[in-house]
C-alpha cells in the first residue's frame, strides 16, 4: 500500500516520554494514525515488551499491518478506542498495562484526503466518518436532522455564533437539492454567515465542519468512555497521556484528571486523616504545549495540549 497523505505526529517525544517506557512493559497506542507514536514506543521496548494499537480507520489498520508486519511485539486492533477496555479484558491484561497514549481527533491523512470529507478546503463527498464502514455520513445526517438539532450541534461542538442561521440555511437548501459534497456545505455556510461579522482569521465554515465531524463520530462521548475505563487497565505506576486539539476535548481530559486526583469535597469535613485518603491517580506535571521549533515545522500543533496522569492506587 502506498501512503499518499503524510502525517506528522504532534508532541511526539513529549508524549512518549510521558509514558516513562519500560523495556518489558505493555503499552497501548489508542489512535495509531500512521504509526508515528507507535514507532518511537517500539524503539524503546525490549524483546519482551508489547504494544497494542487501536484505530477505527481501515486505512490506518492496513498501514499498521504493513509497517509492523514483522514485529512480534506489535498488534493492531481495528476498533474505536471506546472498545479498549473490552478488548484488553478479553486478553486478560486489565491491570497490567504500563501506559496508554490517546491522540484525540482527526489525523492529517484523514483531513487532507478530499475523499474522506473532513475539510472544506478539499473537494469531495460529505462523509466525515473516521470509519467509513460504520454509521451514517455527515450528508446522510444533514438530510434528515431537524434545524434545532443541527443548530445545537454547531453551537455545542463548534461554539458557532451563527448556529441557528446556518442550520436554517442548510434545511432550506436541502429541500432544493441534496447536500452531498464538502463544497456544497461550505458554500451554504459561506452564504449564511454575515460578511461584516466574520472572523478575519478563519473560514466561516471552520467551526461548523468541526462540530459536524465531532457529532458524526461521537468524539466527546467516546473520549469520556475511554477515560472512565483507563484506570482499571493500568498497573500501579502506569501512565496515561492524552493529546487533545480542541478546547472541549481538553476540558473533558482536565476534569477527568482532576476528579481522579483531587480529594472529594464531601470528605473534607469528615474526621479522616489526609494519609487515609488515597486518590486513584496523580497528575504528572502541568499541561504541555508544542514549542516554537515544532510550531514552525508543523503549524497544526498550535492547538495541541498534552496532559499526563499516573495510577497510584
pLDDT, one tens digit per residue, over 75-126 is: 999 999 999 999 999 999 999 999 999 999 777 777 778 889 888 988 899 9
State the maximum Cα–Cα separation within the chain, in Å, rounded to a whole number. Answer: 68
Confidence of residue 268 (pLDDT cuts 50, 70, 90): low
34 close to 60: Cβ distance less than 8 angstroms: yes
Q: Tell me what pLDDT residue 3 has.
A: 47
Calpha distance 48→35 (Å, rounded): 20
Calpha distance 137→124 (Å, rounded): 13
Q: Which of 107, 130, 114 is nearest to 214 (CA)?
A: 130
Q: What is the DSSP letter of 280?
A: S
Q: Using only C-alpha atoms, what is the Rg of the chain?
A: 21
Q: Looking at the DSSP assignment, which residues form a beta bridge with residue 305?
A: 244, 289
Confidence of residue 276 (pLDDT cuts 50, 70, 90): low
Kindly state the average pLDDT of the residues 162-168.
98
Q: Which of 215, 186, 174 is nearest to 120 (CA)?
A: 186
Calpha distance 27→21 (Å, rounded): 8
Calpha distance 218→284 (Å, rounded): 28
CATH numbers and ranges of domains, the chain? 12-109+219-311 (3.40.50.150), 132-217 (1.10.150.170)
Q: Looking at the DSSP assignment, which residues form a beta bridge with residue 181?
A: 125
Is a pLDDT exceeding 50 seen at residue 2?
Answer: no
Residues 6+ apart with CB under 8 A from 249: 104, 105, 219, 220, 223
Amino acid at each position: 500500500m502506498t501512503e499518499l497523505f503524510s502525517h506528522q505526529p504532534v508532541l511526539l517525544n513529549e508524549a512518549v516520554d510521558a509514558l516513562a517506557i519500560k523495556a518489558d512493559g505493555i503499552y497501548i497506542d489508542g489512535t495509531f494514525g500512521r504509526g508515528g507514536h507507535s514507532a518511537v514506543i517500539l524503539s524503546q521496548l525490549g524483546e519482551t515488551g508489547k504494544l497494542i494499537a487501536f484505530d477505527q480507520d481501515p486505512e490506518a489498520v492496513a498501514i499498521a499491518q504493513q509497517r509492523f508486519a514483522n514485529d512480534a511485539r506489535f498488534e493492531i486492533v481495528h476498533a474505536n478506542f471506546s472498545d479498549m477496555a473490552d478488548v484488553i479484558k478479553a486478553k486478560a491484561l486489565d491491570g497490567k498495562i504500563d501506559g496508554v497514549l490517546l491522540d484525540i481527533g482527526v489525523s492529517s491523512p484523514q483531513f487532507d484526503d478530499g475523499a474522506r470529507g473532513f475539510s472544506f478546503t478539499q473537494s469531495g463527498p460529505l462523509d466525515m466518518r473516521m470509519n467509513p464502514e460504520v454509521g451514517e455520513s455527515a450528508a446522510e445526517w444533514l438530510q434528515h436532522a431537524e434545524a434545532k438539532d443541527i443548530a445545537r450541534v454547531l453551537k455545542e461542538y463548534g461554539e458557532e455564533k451563527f448556529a441557528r442561521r446556518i442550520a436554517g440555511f442548510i434545511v432550506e437548501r436541502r429541500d432544493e437539492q441534496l447536500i452531498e459534497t464538502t463544497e456544497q456545505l461550505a458554500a451554504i455556510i459561506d452564504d449564511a454567515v454575515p460578511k461584516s461579522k466574520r472572523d478575519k482569521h478563519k473560514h466561516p465554515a471552520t467551526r461548523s465542519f468541526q462540530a459536524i465531524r465531532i457529532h458524526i463520530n461521537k468524539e466527546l462521548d467516546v473520549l469520556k468512555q475511554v477515560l472512565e475505563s483507563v484506570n482499571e487497565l493500568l498497573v500501579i505506576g502506569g501512565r496515561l497521556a492524552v493529546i487533545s486539539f480542541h478546547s472541549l476535548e481538553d476540558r473533558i481530559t482536565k476534569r477527568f484528571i482532576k476528579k481522579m486526583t483531587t480529594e472529594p469535597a464531601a470528605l473534607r469535613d469528615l474526621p479522616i486523616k489526609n494519609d487515609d485518603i488515597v486518590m486513584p491517580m496523580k497528575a504528572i506535571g502541568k499541561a504541555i504545549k508544542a514549542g516554537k521549533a515544532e510550531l514552525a515545522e508543523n503549524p497544526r500543533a498550535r492547538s495541541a495540549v498534552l496532559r499526563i496522569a499516573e495510577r497510584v492506587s
